[in-house]
Amino acid sequence: MFDWKYRLWLIKYISGVLLPPVALLSVFLWGLKAISDFRPLYLSELSLYLVFIPLYWDFVGRLTEWQDEINARKLGANLIPLIKGKRMDLIARYKKGITDGYPGQIVDELLDEAGVDTARLCLFGATRVITRDHDVSKFILSTGFNNFEIGEAVVIRLESFFGKGIFVADGETAKMHRALARPYFARDRVSDYTIFHKHCDKMLDVLHKSACADKPIDMQDLFLTFTFDTSVEFLFGSEDLATFTRDLPRAKDSDAEPEPKDAAKFLHAFNQGKANSQARLGQPQVFWTAAEFFKDSQADVKKDISDYLDPLVRAAIRRKEHRAGNDENYGPERLFVDHLVKSTNDISVMKDGLMNIMQAARDTTAGLLTFACYLLATSPSAMERAREEVLARYGRTEVPTYDNLKQLKYIRAVLNETLRLFPVAPINSRQSKGQTIIPTREGPLYVPRSWQFLYSAISIQKRKDLWGDDADAFDPLRWIDGREKDMTADPFRFIPFNAGPRICLGQQFAYNEASFVLVRLLQHFDSFILMQAEAAPNGSLPPHEWKSGTGRQSIELICPVMLMTLFCKGGLWLRMRAASD
């Protein structure tokens, strides 16, 4: 399908930038020529236009700033502080920080320099607010939810891949997708654990072979494979992918991308679509729309994905027709695609819903498990305590169930602490729908229409005034030694799954799946040995300049990067030691 939306946006943008100043100067020059002998040379007149266009928009920007200040004073609020600096230098620094820097670090640096927790930048005519204030994120996500939306800036980048699914949709469309998915995720599904068990056993076989050979293995690759297989079976019932039988990445011989490279065509397309989407998010909109004006990077991706999904969706529709509306014998454990088809026959709605749930079901848990294993590998005391809890409850062989998995307080603390330090979505965004006031502890903030807000969950979750001087340290005990009461009293300091009306519907599924896998790993292996320096692909270790930086980047032994969600660049390379007790 040809995507007109972003192409029309570029045409409108260029027209909007050029027409007002060109028309104004043209009228002025026409009048001047009419009343005088002024007849500039062609090149001189062209130079006038080239000089006048930026001057015009500089004047408009100053006028808008002045009007915003007046509106803020009228409402008894403050205008969000503007980060000072040479515009192009600031833009280049911000872009490099977002695309190449430690996640959230550029937000912290700019806010530290400004001496505030919320500030704004002007980027190519658009205002972007960056914040690590949990009061601001609370208003955006919850108390002032109706004043914000995903916004055109994000939708236009992601819609050609995710469609109008739950991650991209606003308003009634978003409500519809959540209403379709919520009943399915609200149930306690015993069958999920059967799926977890089956695919986890395949993963354990691979790990034992690696341990016997005393070779490092890319755990992130395995977790992505595991969550892909469980997600596809959970969504569609497909069991024949055989992804664990493929050739695994070899130490120092794999690409630095954090994805499996030789799985099914659908997986290739899915991974490429995410990479394309992240590339768009990392560029000013005018840049990527111009670069893709004649060739949409997502066109081939979308076709391959549709080729895979169409037969599965149509098969679900046929099953529905065969049942003739009688679901009595089909039970509550039906596949997610069958759950969707019960509510709609719209193939486009179903495919968009499946794509969005696939992104969440696969990447959220894979990222959580990857960083949990990294943190356990670098914290022997936490590893020992986690394993003691698992063995005390299950021994070496008992398989965890939905009911007894909830009893593992320390395992849950490990997962929460992992999500605090490495939230799956470190930075998220919303756009203001209209003029509004955000209440904060430092006073109300005035927000005009169409300002884009980037709220940095990773920054909020490592603020020392909220989490203590050891906020950068991995300490699962903070979740079970009484300090968790502070989080309960102020829950918006911890938002790894977002919050409010758009909170992640599958967060409990992610906790269940990650807990199950972690228990099985700790039953089978008594040591995770980090081999990043020895085995990770070239170019995937943390940059040398991180060592002299602030926060966790100075102690990090892996390189976290954004690929829609948080991943470990080059994979997570561990040597697993089989348990002998």
- For residue 129, give the nearest of 428, 347, 407 by alpha carbon: 428
The answer to whether position 212 is within a domain reads yes
Predicted pLDDT of residue 261: 38
318, 210: one domain: yes
Rounded to 5 degrees, what are φ and ψ at 157? -80, -35
The answer to whether position 451 is within a domain reads no
Q: Please tell me the distance from the alpha carbon of residue 510 to that of residue 472, in angstroms, as a whole number.
A: 24
> Any idea what the CATH number is for the domain that residue 419 is in?
1.10.630.10
The answer to whether position 552 is within a domain reads yes
Q: Which domain holds residue 504?
A: 163-425+462-578
Which of 36, 54, 74 is a domain's end point?
Answer: 74
178, 56: one domain: no
Q: Please tell me the distance from the alpha carbon of residue 232 to that of residue 361, in angstroms, as a whole number.
A: 9
Predicted pLDDT of residue 262: 35
337, 468: one domain: yes
Predicted pLDDT of residue 420: 98
52, 177: one domain: no
> Tokens in use for 105?
């670090």
The answer to whether position 331 is within a domain reads yes
489, 388: one domain: yes
Q: Please tell me the distance from the alpha carbon of residue 34 to that of residue 45, in angstroms, as a whole number.
A: 16
The answer to whether position 382 is within a domain reads yes
70, 172: one domain: no
| pTM tops 0.85, yes or no | yes
**Angle, CA of 315, 319 and 323, to the nearest 5°:** 170
Which of 22, 43, 74 is a domain's end point?
Answer: 74
Q: What is the DSSP letter of 574?
A: E
Q: Please tell me the distance from the alpha carbon of residue 559 to that of residue 289, in angstroms, as a whole number.
A: 29
60, 174: one domain: no
**Using alpha carbons only, how large is the chain's radius of gyration in Å?**
26
Q: Please tell me the distance from the alpha carbon of residue 430 to that of residue 452, in angstroms, as a whole number.
A: 6
The answer to whether position 138 is within a domain reads no
452-456 and 126-131 beta bridge pairing: parallel
Q: Distance from CA of residue 243 to its chain's centroid?
A: 25
293, 410: one domain: yes
The answer to whether position 503 is within a domain reads yes
The answer to whether position 310 is within a domain reads yes
Residue with tokens 């079976």: 233
Number of domains in the chain: 2
Which of 74, 96, 128 is a domain's end point?
Answer: 74
Predicted pLDDT of residue 1: 61
236, 334: one domain: yes
The runs of H, that is alpha helices, within 187-218 are: 190-212
pLDDT tens digits in sequence order for the chain, 581 residues long: 678 889 999 999 999 999 999 999 999 989 988 888 878 788 888 999 999 999 999 899 899 999 999 999 999 999 999 998 887 888 888 888 888 899 999 999 999 999 999 999 987 778 899 999 999 999 999 999 999 999 988 999 998 888 888 888 888 888 888 887 877 776 666 557 888 999 999 999 999 999 999 999 999 999 999 998 888 888 877 665 556 665 566 666 654 443 333 346 888 888 899 889 988 888 888 889 999 999 999 999 988 888 888 888 888 888 888 776 565 545 444 678 887 888 788 888 888 888 888 888 888 999 999 999 999 999 999 999 999 999 999 999 999 988 889 899 999 999 999 999 999 999 999 999 999 999 999 899 999 999 999 999 999 999 999 999 999 999 999 999 988 888 888 999 999 999 999 998 888 889 999 999 999 999 999 999 999 999 999 999 999 999 998 899 999 999 999 888 899 999 999 999 999 86
478, 371: one domain: yes
Predicted pLDDT of residue 257: 41
239, 386: one domain: yes
180, 45: one domain: no
